């Protein structure tokens, strides 16, 4: 145990001086610093992510949140002998862009009251919070849980400890109130988070994740072969393998490598029709 | 000041609005269509192979921040709003859900239209549970056949007839009602996966056929002279628009025909909220324009052609017809809400074979109809109804298509290895089941929650019932059997350790439905009922021309007319009803009065 956690047990994130320091560090390097604790370095890909040039600016996350989420995402889709994981794919930047954008800001959520806890199952999201609100409120509570249980922050735990800590979310074993209530269970957060990680691994690189199309290549998804002029009707009815399954093409070639986080802009760009309607409220 | 009066004003410009606009303007009438969404068409879909934006973030669907529904499972619960889309995905914008659909285009069975009479004739009245309120449609299959035919030739539906004027034809669906002529387009060939399903089901004694599809396998020119190109099998159909116009949708079929007459006008960003009426006569549509101002569109004839929920909410908001009362079972508006019963499928993970699952078209499928409707003997089974069984190749977009065998973790290296191995090797045999109507399943106005304009949300009361649970348990055994025939020697996963030497793993067996209907997981956008058709004004809102019993110049058209839902996708039947309504409107225009 090298560093005291930066999160107080009352569940409040306390950025402060450490935040500034983290802000100066690279994503890969951050884990190196905070991960002086035994074993945690094994979680970090020694490859591309740490060496790349300029980090993308964060649109929603604080650096502390970004590092936390990146480490958690790496538990969902780890770097291993089968290929790069969430960190190298840029899943942290993907989620950051989504939370800053229309989805994270709840532009399609009905948030009118009254709110109350459902009597039975199947009613879904019933709290007056957007996805961005939920991430911000949930992470400090989870950090407190992780500290209490493992004595350290999530990014500095061993891979086995991280798996145990993630399972505690999935099963709802971790009791993490949001806004003083349990209306949003830790298993609810796990479901949203896991889905976001899959999106960050497998959506078009234009959204900031799936950098270099590492997610697509790992599962053999060809992206958008229409751009190649390579129409599927020449292949689908035959037994022959598709020659380009592991050579995917992105929607926008320029974004594939850079991982430019166009998530918010792209998601919102076809909104004018709806937003015109939105302004019509009376 | 009201807009200029027209012959016909329609709420909603999707399949129903588009078909009516084309047919009525061709007959010389002036038509205005009110559409809450924006204008759109093929140019917008040139770069839409983006799973995140369209399929996950719901680009093309109703924005629930503006307008949603409240939902409860029974009459004693306080309904909660559905705060984000989940179980169903209604469209918005020109073409409606007809733009983002898959294209699976069925005709309901002759028995479906006479479900109550047919069930009692074959099994006796005791076969129908006490609170089940299924009823005959007030129209027969034979009466509707010419309108099905019209829809299919307009849209260019590809398939092979299984019943041509009473003659059964092997290789088509031998359980279907008689067709007056062959499909306009021959079916697509089999993919290796479809061929495998066909061999497996044949070996079990079933009657496999190619699912009827609105995704053109070859180029086609329809009777209106509209030419469309063949499908590329890009794999982006449901939740996407078609960039090559191979998928029939209103924007590339009926709407250009209506516009060409010069007699059709669309008003976009028009949110209809009420029909001005004196009980006997509908005078105009009241709507909010793009600036939120109240506007009025008068017409001689008014058509509600929006999605199920919007049509019913408009009737209730306008105090048209008697609202349904679930305690007495009287009243009609909101009556017999039904859905589509899923579950009952089987999954198979092949160890050796790979399928190009990312290729596909929305309706590219092989199917059997042996366990649908009353195509099999229900004696002693403890349920009525059934569903279609199929294996589809609709395009496995990756974010939504990562399923691993049961018993494996859902994250981490072991899960990732399974994802990598099985993404191209997992297949599903699906079951799409009937949804009967019940006394307590209905729609009314919510007392607590309102939309962005301040109007009450529609409240839905619905849950799974014992009949459907028994049906799904039965179906699960049948789909498991088919999957076993598709992967001979496969192990059936029981949640324990898997045998690495087996040629595949199957998950299936008696199907089950959740404890309560789940509004969060996507199941189907086949919501039905609430403005049902029938032969008796005491138990239906509209007659067999979809003309309102009490208000003769008001026609209500769509899946809201279904008294209960069949084990097939609804669009073929919605299209047929729209053509039927067009004929009714022209008759009414000529003679006035009640058409039935």
* B131-168: pLDDT as tens digits: 999 999 999 999 999 999 999 999 999 999 999 999 99
Asked whether the beta carbons of residue B519 and residue A122 sit closer than 8 angstroms, the reply is yes
pLDDT digits (tens, 9 = 90+) for A64-78: 999 999 999 999 999
**CA–CA distances in Å: residue B308 to residues B237, B429, B456:** 22, 28, 16
Catalogue the E-assigned strands of B162-217.
Answer: 163-164, 167-168, 209-210
Domain-located, residue B596: no
Active site residue B552: no
Distance of CA A226 to the CA centre of its chain: 29
Chain B residues near residue A121 by CB distance under 8 angstroms: 514-516, 518
Asked whether the beta carbons of residue B65 and residue A110 sit closer than 8 angstroms, the reply is yes
Distance of CA B17 to the CA centre of its chain: 16
Give the span between the Cα atoms of A102 and A115, in whole angstroms: 22
Domain-located, residue B234: yes
Find the mean pLDDT for residues B361-384.
98
A274 inside 8 A of chain B by CB: yes
Phi, psi of A14 (to 5 degrees): -120, 90
Q: Is the pLDDT of residue B566 over 60?
A: yes
A229 inside 8 A of chain B by CB: no
- Which range is least confidently modeled, A133-147, A183-197, B97-111, B485-499? B485-499
Q: What is the mean pLDDT of chain B?
A: 97
pLDDT digits (tens, 9 = 90+) for A153-172: 999 999 999 999 999 999 99
Asked whether the beta carbons of residue A198 and residue B189 sit closer than 8 angstroms, the reply is no
- What percent of chain A stands above pLDDT 90? 58
Q: Quick one: pLDDT band at residue A179, thresholds 50, 70, 90?
A: confident
Nearest CA distance, A81 vs chain B (angstrom): 9
Q: Please check whether residue B135 is in contact with residue B329, taking contact to mean a CB–CB distance below 8 angstroms.
A: no
A10 inside 8 A of chain B by CB: no
Cite the DSSP H helix spans in B497-551. Answer: none
Asked whether the beta carbons of residue A281 and residue B292 sit closer than 8 angstroms, the reply is yes
Q: Please check whether residue A108 is in contact with residue A125, taking contact to mean a CB–CB distance below 8 angstroms.
A: no
- What percent of chain B stands above pLDDT 70? 100
Q: Is the pLDDT of residue B47 over 90?
A: no
A240 inside 8 A of chain B by CB: no
Token pair, residue B280, equals 């006997």
Query: Using CB atoms, which residue from B37, B56, B71 is nearest to A199?
Result: B56
Asked whether the beta carbons of residue B47 and residue A82 sit closer than 8 angstroms, the reply is no
Return the residue in B35, B80, B404, B455 with the most chain A beta carbons within 10 A, the one to mutate for interface testing. B80
Residues belonging to chain A: 282
Chain A residues near residue B393 by CB distance under 8 angstroms: 236
Look at residue A280 in the predicted model and tell me its pLDDT.
Answer: 28
Residues belonging to chain B: 596
Find the mean pLDDT for residues B383-388.
98
Give the span between the Cα atoms of B523 and B339, in whole angstroms: 10
**Could you tell me which residue, A54 or A116, shows the higher pLDDT?**
A116
Domain-located, residue B559: yes
Structural domains counted in chain B: 1
Q: Quick one: pLDDT band at residue B500, thresholds 50, 70, 90?
A: confident
Asked whether the beta carbons of residue A274 and residue B63 sit closer than 8 angstroms, the reply is yes
- Contacting residues for A82 by C-beta, under 8 A, at least 6 apart: A218, B413, B416, B417, B420
Q: Nearest residue of B to residue A209 by CA position?
A: B52
- Which range is least confidently modeled, A219-228, A273-282, B137-146? A273-282
Q: Quick one: pLDDT band at residue B441, thresholds 50, 70, 90?
A: very high
Find the mean pLDDT for residues A37-41.
33
Surface of A (86-115) touching B: CB under 8 A: 102-103, 106-112, 114
Q: Nearest residue of B to residue A79 by CA position?
A: B413
Q: Nearest residue of B to residue A219 by CA position?
A: B420
Look at residue A180 in the predicted model and tell me its pLDDT.
Answer: 81
Q: Please check whether residue B116 is in contact with residue B136, taking contact to mean a CB–CB distance below 8 angstroms.
A: yes
Residue A211's CB is within 10 A of a number of other CB atoms, namely 25
Chain A residues near residue B286 by CB distance under 8 angstroms: none
3-class SS string, A43-67:
HCCCCHHHHCCCCCCCCCCCHHHHH
Closest to B271 (Cα-Cα) out of B12, B449, B28, B63: B12
Asked whether the beta carbons of residue B424 and residue A280 sit closer than 8 angstroms, the reply is no
Find the mean pLDDT for residues A231-237.
93
Find the mean pLDDT for residues B516-531.
97
- What percent of chain B stands above pLDDT 90? 97
Residue A33, judged by CB atoms within 10 A of its CB (0-12, 13-18, 19+), counts as middle
Q: What is the CATH number of the domain that holds B241?
A: 3.50.50.60
- What strands, in cross-sheet order, belong to the sheet with B387-394? B209-210, B360-368, B387-394, B426-433, B346-350, B504-507, B491-492
Domain-located, residue B1: no
Nearest CA distance, A20 vs chain B (angstrom): 32
Q: Please check whether residue B31 is in contact with residue B254, taking contact to mean a CB–CB distance below 8 angstroms.
A: no
pLDDT digits (tens, 9 = 90+) for B279-337: 899 999 999 999 999 999 999 999 999 999 999 999 999 999 999 999 999 999 999 99
Nearest CA distance, B422 vs chain A (angstrom): 8
Chain B residues near residue A267 by CB distance under 8 angstroms: 52-53, 57
**B471 membership: H or E segment, kind and range:** helix B466-486
Long-range contacts of B327-331 (CB under 8 A, 24+ apart): B327/B75, B329/B133, B329/B439, B330/B538
Choose the most confident range, by mean pLDDT, from A39-43, A115-119, B299-303: B299-303
Q: Is the pLDDT of residue A48 over 50?
A: no
Q: Nearest residue of B to residue A119 by CA position?
A: B77
Strand partners, B247: B215
Chain A residues near residue B243 by CB distance under 8 angstroms: 226
Chain A residues near residue B233 by CB distance under 8 angstroms: 231-233, 236
Q: Quick one: pLDDT band at residue A243, thresholds 50, 70, 90?
A: confident
A119 inside 8 A of chain B by CB: yes
Q: Quick one: pLDDT band at residue A263, thresholds 50, 70, 90?
A: very low
Structural domain range at position B264: 6-84+92-591
Q: Please check whether residue B481 is in contact with residue B33, taking contact to mean a CB–CB distance below 8 angstroms.
A: no
Phi, psi of B89 (to 5 degrees): -135, 75
Q: Nearest residue of A to residue B65 by CA position?
A: A110
Give the span between the Cα atoms of B225 and B223, in whole angstroms: 5
Token pair, residue B472, equals 């799904």
Look at residue A53 in the predicted model and tell me its pLDDT.
Answer: 52
Look at residue A258 in the predicted model and tell me its pLDDT.
Answer: 53
Q: Please check whether residue A62 is in contact with residue A70, taking contact to mean a CB–CB distance below 8 angstroms.
A: no
Closest to B564 (Cα-Cα) out of B109, B205, B38: B109
How far is the first Cα of chain A from the last one, in angstroms, to the nearest whole number?
Answer: 58
* Axis-axis angle for helices A63-76, A91-100 (nearest 10): 120
Distance of CA B341 to the CA centre of its chain: 12
Look at residue A32 in the predicted model and tell me its pLDDT.
Answer: 31
Q: Is the pLDDT of residue A35 over 80?
A: no
Query: Using CB atoms, which residue from B93, B411, B448 is nearest to A194?
Result: B411
Q: Quick one: pLDDT band at residue A256, thresholds 50, 70, 90?
A: low
Look at residue A119 in the predicted model and tell me its pLDDT.
Answer: 87
Asked whether the beta carbons of residue B423 and residue A166 sit closer than 8 angstroms, the reply is no
Q: Please check whether residue B564 is in contact with residue B6, taking contact to mean a CB–CB distance below 8 angstroms.
A: no
Residue B403, judged by CB atoms within 10 A of its CB (0-12, 13-18, 19+), counts as middle
Chain B residues near residue A108 by CB distance under 8 angstroms: 57-58, 63-65, 84-85
pLDDT digits (tens, 9 = 90+) for B331-365: 999 999 999 999 999 999 999 999 999 999 999 99
Query: Using CB atoms, which residue from A232, A273, A280 is nearest to B37?
Result: A273
Asked whether the beta carbons of residue B77 and residue A75 sit closer than 8 angstroms, the reply is no
Q: What is the mean pLDDT of chain A?
A: 77
Find the mean pLDDT for residues B470-481.
98
Rg (CA), chain A: 20
Look at residue A228 in the predicted model and tell me its pLDDT.
Answer: 74
Asked whether the beta carbons of residue B66 and residue A242 sit closer than 8 angstroms, the reply is no
Q: Is the pLDDT of residue B260 over 80?
A: yes
Return the residue matching tokens 């983290």: A22
| Helix and strand totals (H; E) in chain A | 13, 0
**Angle at CA B141, nearest 5°, toward B248 and B165?**
85
Find the mean pLDDT for residues B418-431.
96
Asked whether the beta carbons of residue B290 and residue A198 sit closer than 8 angstroms, the reply is no
- Contacting residues for A201 by C-beta, under 8 A, at least 6 apart: A77, A86, A89, A91, A209, A210, A214, A215
- Contacting residues for B591 by C-beta, under 8 A, at least 6 apart: none
Q: Please check whether residue B574 is in contact with residue B527, taking contact to mean a CB–CB distance below 8 angstroms.
A: no
Q: Is the pLDDT of residue A56 over 90?
A: no
Q: Quick one: pLDDT band at residue A15, thresholds 50, 70, 90?
A: very low
Return the residue matching tokens 């003997």: B377
């Amino acid at each position: 145990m090298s560093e005291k956690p930066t999160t107080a047990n009352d569940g409040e994130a306390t950025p402060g001086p450490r935040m500034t320091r983290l802000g100066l560090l690279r994503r890969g390097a951050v884990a190196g610093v905070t991960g002086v604790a035994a074993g945690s370095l094994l979680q970090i890909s020694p490859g591309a992510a740490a060496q790349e040039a300029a980090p993308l600016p964060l649109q929603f996350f604080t650096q502390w949140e970004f590092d936390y989420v990146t480490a958690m995402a790496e538990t969902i889709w780890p770097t291993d002998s089968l290929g790069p994981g969430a960190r190298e794919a840029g899943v942290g930047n993907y989620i950051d862009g989504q939370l800053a954008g229309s989805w994270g800001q709840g532009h399609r959520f009905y948030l009118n009251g009254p709110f109350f806890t459902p009597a039975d199952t199947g009613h879904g999201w019933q709290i007056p919070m957007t996805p961005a609100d939920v991430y911000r409120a949930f992470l400090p509570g989870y950090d407190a849980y992780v500290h209490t249980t493992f004595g350290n922050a999530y990014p500095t735990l061993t891979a086995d400890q991280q798996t145990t800590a993630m399972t505690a979310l999935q099963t709802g074993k971790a009791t993490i109130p949001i806004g003083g209530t349990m209306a949003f269970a830790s298993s609810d957060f796990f479901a949203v988070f896991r889905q976001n990680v899959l999106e960050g691994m497998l959506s078009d690189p234009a959204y900031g994740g799936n950098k270099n199309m590492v997610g697509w290549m790992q599962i053999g998804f060809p992206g958008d072969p229409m751009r190649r002029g390579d129409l599927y009707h020449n292949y689908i009815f035959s037994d022959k393998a598709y020659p380009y399954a592991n050579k995917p093409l992105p929607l926008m070639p320029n974004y594939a490598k850079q991982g430019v986080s166009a998530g918010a802009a792209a998601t919102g760009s076809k909104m004018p029709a709806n937003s015109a309607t939105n302004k019509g409220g009376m | 000041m009201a807009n200029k009066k027209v012959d016909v004003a329609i709420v909603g410009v999707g399949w129903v609005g588009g078909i009516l606009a084309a047919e009525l303007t061709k007959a010389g009438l002036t038509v205005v269509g009110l559409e809450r969404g924006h204008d759109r068409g093929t140019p917008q879909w040139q770069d839409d192979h983006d799973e995140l934006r369209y399929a996950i973030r719901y680009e093309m669907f109703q924005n629930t921040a503006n307008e949603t529904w409240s939902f409860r499972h029974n009459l004693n619960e306080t309904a909660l709003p559905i705060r984000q889309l989940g179980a169903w995905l209604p469209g918005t914008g020109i073409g409606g859900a007809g733009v983002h659909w898959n294209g699976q285009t069925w005709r309901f069975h002759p028995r479906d239209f006479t479900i109550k009479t047919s069930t009692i004739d074959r099994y006796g009245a005791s076969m129908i549970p006490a609170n089940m309120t299924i009823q005959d449609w007030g129209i027969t299959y034979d009466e509707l056949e010419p309108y099905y035919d019209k829809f299919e030739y307009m849209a260019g539906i590809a398939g092979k007839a299984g019943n041509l004027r009473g003659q059964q034809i092997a290789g088509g669906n031998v359980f279907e009602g008689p067709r007056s002529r062959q499909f306009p387009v021959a079916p697509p060939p089999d993919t290796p996966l479809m061929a495998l399903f066909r061999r497996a089901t044949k070996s079990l004694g079933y009657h496999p056929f190619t699912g009827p599809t609105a995704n053109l396998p070859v180029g086609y020119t329809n009777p209106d002279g509209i030419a469309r190109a063949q499908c590329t099998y890009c794999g982006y159909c449901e939740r996407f628009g078609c960039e090559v116009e191979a998928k029939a949708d209103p924007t590339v079929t009926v709407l250009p025909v209506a516009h060409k007459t010069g007699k059709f006008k669309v008003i976009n960003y028009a949110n209809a909220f009420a029909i001005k009426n004196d009980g006997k006569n509908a005078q105009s549509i009241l709507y909010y324009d793009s600036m939120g101002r109240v506007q009025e569109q008068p017409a001689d004839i008014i058509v509600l052609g929006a999605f199920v929920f919007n049509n019913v909410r408009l009737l209730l908001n306008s105090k048209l017809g008697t609202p349904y009362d679930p305690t007495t079972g009287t009243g009609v508006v909101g009556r017999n809400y039904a859905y589509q019963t899923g579950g009952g499928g089987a999954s198979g993970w092949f160890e050796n074979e790979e399928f190009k699952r990312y290729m596909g078209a929305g309706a590219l499928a092989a199917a059997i109809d042996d366990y649908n409707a009353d195509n099999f003997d229900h004696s002693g089974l403890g349920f009525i109804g059934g569903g279609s069984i199929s294996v589809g190749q609709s395009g496995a977009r990756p974010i939504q298509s990562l399923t691993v065998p049961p018993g494996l973790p859902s994250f981490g290296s072991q899960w990732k290895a399974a994802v990598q191995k099985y993404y191209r090797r997992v297949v599903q045999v699906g079951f799409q089941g009937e949804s009967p109507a019940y006394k307590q399943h209905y729609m009314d106005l919510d007392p607590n929650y309102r939309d962005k304009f301040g109007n009450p949300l529609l409240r839905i009361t619905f849950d799974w019932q014992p009949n459907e649970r028994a049906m799904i348990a039965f179906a699960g055994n049948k789909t498991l059997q088919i999957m076993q025939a598709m992967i001979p020697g496969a192990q059936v996963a029981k949640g324990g350790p898997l045998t690495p030497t087996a040629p595949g793993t199957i998950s299936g067996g008696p199907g089950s439905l959740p404890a309560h209907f789940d509004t969060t997981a996507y199941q189907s956008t086949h919501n039905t009922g609430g403005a049902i058709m029938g032969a008796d004004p005491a138990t239906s809102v509209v007659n067999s021309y979809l003309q309102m019993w009490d208000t003769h110049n008001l026609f209500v058209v769509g899946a809201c007319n279904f008294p209960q839902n069949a084990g097939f996708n609804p669009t073929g039947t919605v299209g047929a009803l729209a053509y039927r309504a067009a004929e009714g409107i022209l008759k009414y225009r000529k003679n006035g009065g009640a058409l039935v």
